[in-house]
Structure 1
């Protein structure tokens, strides 16, 4: 789960990580009022979207007056901000963060991520702040400093001092820098985050360390432990299909293909998408309905897949272990009676009571294309899609 910059700064402030004064606005007039509340003569207006590269895309502007703030916000509110991370569809701007401008002497990149190879939290830092970490890695790889945190003891102050020394931070700021790192690490571990990124962490003209930008992502499966963090979710920034799936307890990731997938088990779902690609098709989604393929759950899955207008065929691939194929087949038949499906439906069942499940599908009279192997199911799904059976489909059961 992603959150906005201003939300990340509020959370990090609880752990002692300082940032410039700022306030949220939902209209141009409110943004100008927020600037007057903050005081000063320069402000930074920031579009709040779940994406990096906002500055290059025109989502971050330095303003010198109320009038300029209102005009800038007029141009931002309601538009789609397109960055290299959003794709061509962009992200809608519905919130603006107004922040007091600060004098900057130096910019530093700071990130906390999960390193899969070492199975530890890794700190990634660079003296080339303000750039995307991918650009830093490509252009100035020698500037990157990495440190692994041992989970048994947590982040130690000597590690913070070592990182500060490698970054060439003035000794007078070492203690501030250590507090910032320790605060980020505590936020990372205590809130079940998967990433904490401050880019840039700036050294100001009056020798302060401030998080000028902040980004946090969280383990969605752990949010039941952090209801306050879970409430920060902004569905307007998410794929609407994925939001609907999450609200219904389904694991869904939208893709750009034409063949919808309804599968039980993440590994089997990945294999199903691979077989569709191998057969010459393009999967429209990753959808894991989990172990309990009940009629209601299958019906929800069909509605979700069909909400994608690009879907021209649906492949249902169920391996019944804990479940039974006859129960699953009954669920599929009931779901097809409840949900109006106008595209080819290909069903492959395997596992417990598979013969009985196939008989239930055959006796149903429903226009179901049946398959016995995954490769056969993928080939038939791609064949149905390529034959343009999606318009007024009248399918005949295939054995």
Structure 2
């Protein structure tokens, strides 16, 4: 589950991570009040208006603006709130429709001169924590090249990207925090601030059951504080039962409406760009099905796992979701009867035909395993115009053939 920046900062601050403070704005008329509140709480004279959407590259798309006074705050809030923001990471990229900005975060200015010397001495770093499955441990990825696309940094200057692997049982050690601060070129007060920052950030990652925590930029201010100037946090949905307060932060308006509906039906669904609808039981088999469709010359339109306890109703709901995509030219049902019996799936197919009405796309069905014979009988006796296949390769070839007409 992805969090907005303002939510991610609230979460990180619970664990002692210093953040760039801000005030959330959802109505344009609240801009003046929010700016007054921000100035009272932080003492800032300038502010930054930041669009809140689940996508990176907001600044490139015009979703992050610096405001030097109240009039500029009002102007930027008025322009950004309600805009369709396009970034390289929104659906369709810069050529796509973009995402509607429903909230903006008004934040304090953290790029200020040293209060004592008057000198401007800031540094932007990159830092993230995620799980390295190959090494079976968490890893802290960091670089002196903050504020940039880390993929570009890794490609062009890989020596500037450092990794610190954390032992799953021993946890993050003091020498590792110090090594991170040293590799970032810090000393003195900034060095100490960074070690504390890394310690708190890792505590947040583990404590919140996150799958990703990314700070870009992680800022060293002119007075040697380390601050999360931006933050991206993804939570492991399988662990949300332990964090019911965080589960309530889920913003369904940022998700694909079809995927949200599928979740309510207990379906694992991800929309893709192809034209072959897939309905499969089991995530591994679903991945294999999409692979073989692709290898056979087709383009899968979705990942859809009906689960090991699927019944006729769930299959019907899956049909409705797949058929909602106008790009669909054929549907491949691939079920291996193990926990779920094949006749349940077959009955769901028959019920879907009856309840949905005209299904004007060809359907290829491959049912193998527990109850396959009974399932074949159910479909044969229904009189439905479906194509049967025995092997997975045969099913893939057949679905590509019917797509081609």
Q: TM-score range by the shorter chain?
A: over 0.9
Instruction: Check the 8 A contact 2:193/2:224 in 1, yes or no.
Output: no
- Cα distance, 1:90 vs structure 2: 2.2
- Cα distance, 1:126 vs structure 2: 1.0
Equivalent residue, structure 2, for 1:24: 24
Counting only pairs closer than 5 Å after superposition, residues 345-356 of structure 1 correspond to structure 2 as 345-356=363-374
Q: Give me the whole-angstrom Cα distance separating, in 1, the residues matched to 2:361 and 2:82.
A: 35
Q: Give me the whole-angstrom Cα distance separating, in 2, the residues matched to 1:232 and 1:221.
A: 15
Equivalent residue, structure 2, for 1:192: 209
Instruction: Check the 8 A contact 1:345/1:369 in 2, yes or no.
Output: yes
Equivalent residue, structure 2, for 1:9: 9
Instruction: Check the 8 A contact 1:43/1:63 in 2, yes or no.
Output: yes
Q: Give me the whole-angstrom Cα distance separating, in 1, the residues matched to 2:74 and 2:345.
A: 57
Q: Give me the whole-angstrom Cα distance separating, in 2, the residues matched to 1:230 and 1:84.
A: 27
Bigger Cα displacement from structure 2, 215-224 vs 320-329? 320-329
- Cα distance, 1:302 vs structure 2: 0.6
Instruction: Check the 8 A contact 1:198/1:212 in 2, yes or no.
Output: yes
Bigger Cα displacement from structure 2, 272-281 vs 123-132? 272-281
Residue 76 of structure 1, aligned match among 80, 86, 97: 80
Equivalent residue, structure 1, for 2:277: 260
Query: Where has structure 1 moved over 4 Å in runs of 4 or more?
Result: none
Residue 54 of structure 1, aligned match among 38, 52, 58: 58
Structure 2 unpaired stretches of 5+: 113-121
Equivalent residue, structure 1, for 2:361: 343
Equivalent residue, structure 1, for 2:119: none
* Cα separation, partners in 2 of 1:278 and 1:140, compared to 1, 3 Å: closer
Aligned length: 387
Question: Deviation per CA, 1:247-270, whole angstroms, max 9, x where unpaired?
Answer: 221111100111110000111111
Equivalent residue, structure 2, for 1:393: none
Q: Give me the whole-angstrom Cα distance separating, in 2, the residues matched to 1:21 and 1:268.
A: 46
- Calculate the TM-score normalised by the size of structure 2: 0.92
* Cα separation, partners in 2 of 1:327 and 1:30, compared to 1, 3 Å: same
- Cα distance, 1:153 vs structure 2: 1.6
Instruction: Check the 8 A contact 1:92/1:236 in 2, yes or no.
Output: no
- Cα distance, 1:327 vs structure 2: 3.1
Equivalent residue, structure 1, for 2:109: 101
- Cα distance, 1:382 vs structure 2: 1.9
Residue 295 of structure 1, aligned match among 312, 320, 332: 312
Instruction: Check the 8 A contact 1:193/1:218 in 2, yes or no.
Output: yes
- Cα distance, 1:279 vs structure 2: 2.7
Question: Deviation per CA, 1:16-58, whole angstroms, max 9, x where unpaired?
Answer: 1111221000122212321121123211000001111111111
Residue 265 of structure 2, aligned match among 248, 257, 262: 248
Q: Give me the whole-angstrom Cα distance separating, in 1, the residues matched to 2:245 and 2:265.
A: 21
* Cα separation, partners in 2 of 1:37 and 1:326, compared to 1, 3 Å: closer
- Calculate the TM-score normalised by the size of structure 1: 0.93
Instruction: Check the 8 A contact 1:28/1:69 in 2, yes or no.
Output: no
Instruction: Check the 8 A contact 1:31/1:96 in 2, yes or no.
Output: no
Question: Deviation per CA, 1:114-142, whole angstroms, max 9, x where unpaired?
Answer: 11221111011111111121122123322
> What's the RMSD between the two structures over aligned residues?
1.5
Residue 100 of structure 2, aligned match among 92, 95, 105: 92
Bigger Cα displacement from structure 2, 250-259 vs 101-110? 101-110
Q: Give me the whole-angstrom Cα distance separating, in 2, the residues matched to 1:242 and 1:112.
A: 27
Q: Secondary structure at the match of 1:233?
A: coil
- Cα distance, 1:109 vs structure 2: 1.0
- Cα distance, 1:223 vs structure 2: 1.0
Equivalent residue, structure 1, for 2:117: none
- Cα distance, 1:217 vs structure 2: 0.6
Q: Give me the whole-angstrom Cα distance separating, in 1, the residues matched to 2:264 and 2:32.
A: 36
Equivalent residue, structure 2, for 1:392: none
Bigger Cα displacement from structure 2, 76-85 vs 38-47? 76-85
Q: Give me the whole-angstrom Cα distance separating, in 1, the residues matched to 2:158 and 2:396.
A: 43
